[in-house]
Amino acid sequence: MQGLRGRPIRKGLAILLAVIGFTRPLGATPFIPERDADILERLPTMLGGGSGELRQLRDQLARAPTDAARAVAVAGRYIELGQGQSDPRYYGYAQAALAPWWGLSDPPAEVLFLRAAIRQSRHEFDPALQDLSRLLEKDPRDPRAWLMQAVIFIVRADYQAARQACEALARLRRAFLAFSCMGSVASLVGQARGGYDLLQLAEAQSQNATLGERVRLETLLGKTAERLGDWGRAEGHFQEAQRLSPHDAYLLGAYADFLLDQGRAAEVVALLREETRVDGLLLRLTLAEREIGAPGKDAHIEDLRARFAASRQRGDNLHQGDEARFLLHLLDQPKAALTLAQANWAVQREPRDARILLEAALASAQPEAARPALEMLERTKLEDTALRRLANELQAKR
């Protein structure tokens, strides 16, 4: 069929959607608002700069689109905004700013770094790693490249490679980054206690760290304490992170998952009530609403359905893990959830990804399907109370 691009699986999905009569995924009936004063849309507020900042950046670029230094500065700011707000549009703006260099096999170092960041954001891990290797060939002392490498390896559960990247950071005497990096890896390979201590060492070195860095570190500490079963300490870290940056999506997602597991759904509703624009947070809000029987649940389920459908129609595969949770817990479709959880597992393998795979395998009574995740648990000795409980249930059924 004309116009469908991308990998076969995407093409397959798109055709499937076309076949089942997928029409306009969103929106109802177009209308004409009644009053001129009706507010149709609120624009996102910028971190730091005012709402005019975006336009300034755009205009700067428009005046000299081939000025590499300016393009890098503008793209960097966009990516920062994108990370702060979990908004993929900014990555798109950054990519557009880098357009003159985007297709080059050997662009300038700063472009390589930003291109890797944008690719990583789209879960295009292989090309991102290629850019990072090339960047490290040019400058083996670039800590950003080592760190981003470590993060990608962690997401893929390649802990050996991640550890090497962390060691490179240590050799560069970047204490804060090295401790954070080592601590993250350790906490996932059966040394959660030691990992927690390393992360605390990093915290002690964080006097020069940025706000964003500290929020991430607190969130990591919270997640590690949670996996260790130390609920009180975990909550302390999540709250501290929230105090530092109340709307950080990564933190809110981790905190909400923690509260949901604690059976504190009402608090999740309070935490996420205003965060419905971020898909992953809307999912957690809706899960909590279902727990307490809140009336907004059904509308939110429909919203989620439309958003996942839109993402698929676009050909993205960024939200398979979340969509699997949606299918399993909100639509009660364990088989479909399992398929997505497996596809997600092929791309990323963090504890959260193992969790949905185990849950879906259990719910659809296909314990064999959970095998890759169980093997990883076995191999890494990952400590995670929730995962261990699920694994035991599955082992009992095999």
Partner 1 sequence: MPILALLIAWFWSTPAMAHKPSDSYLSFTVRDQVVSGQWDIALRDLDYAIGLDADGDGAITWGELKGRHDAIVAYALGHLRVSSGGQPCATHAEEQLVDRHTDGTYTVLRFSVRCAARVPRLVLHYDLFFDLDAQHRGLWRAEYEGQTQIGIFATDHREHTLALDAPSRLAEFLDYGREGVWHIWIGYDHILFLLSLLLPAVLWRSGGHWVPVPGFRPALTEVVKVVTAFTLAHSVTLSLAVLKVIALPARLVESAIAASVLLAALNNLYPLVTARRWLVAFGFGLVHGLGFASVLLDLGLPRGSLALALLAFNLGVEGGQLAIVTAFLPLAYGARHTVLYARMVFQGGSLAILVLAALWLVERGLDLKLL
DSSP 317-360: -TTHHHHHHIIIIIS--HHHHHHHHHHHHHH--SHHHHHHHHHH
Among residues 4, 9, 64, 204, the one that binds partner 1 under rule CB under 8 A: 4
Instruction: Provide the b/e sequence for 315-332 (b: ≥16 CB within 10 Å).
Output: ebbbbbbbbbbbbbbbee
Query: Is 352 in contact with 319 (CB distance < 8 Å)?
Result: no
Contact between 20 and partner 1 by CB under 8 A: the answer reads no
Nearer to partner 1 by C-beta: 97 or 391?
97
Q: x-or-dash pattern for partner 1, window 326-365, by CB under 8 A?
A: ----------------------x---x-------------
Alpha-carbon span 354 to 337, nearest angstrom: 13
Residues 223-252 that bind partner 1 (CB under 8 A): 249-250, 252
* Least distance CB 83 / partner 1 (angstroms): 4
Residues 87-146 that bind partner 1 (CB under 8 A): 87-89, 91-93, 95-96, 99, 102, 110, 113, 117, 120-123, 143-144
Residues 359-398 that bind partner 1 (CB under 8 A): none
* Least distance CB 378 / partner 1 (angstroms): 25
Nearer to partner 1 by C-beta: 2 or 160?
2
Q: What's the N-to-C CA distance of the chain in angstroms?
A: 43
Contact between 155 and partner 1 by CB under 8 A: the answer reads yes
Residues 263-282 that bind partner 1 (CB under 8 A): 277-281
Contact between 195 and partner 1 by CB under 8 A: the answer reads no
Residues 26-65 that bind partner 1 (CB under 8 A): 26-33, 35-45, 51-52, 54-55, 58
24 conformational bin, left if phi > 0, alpha if psi -120 to 50, beta if neither: beta
Alpha-carbon span 281 to 295, nearest angstrom: 18
Tell me which amino acid residue 31 is.
F
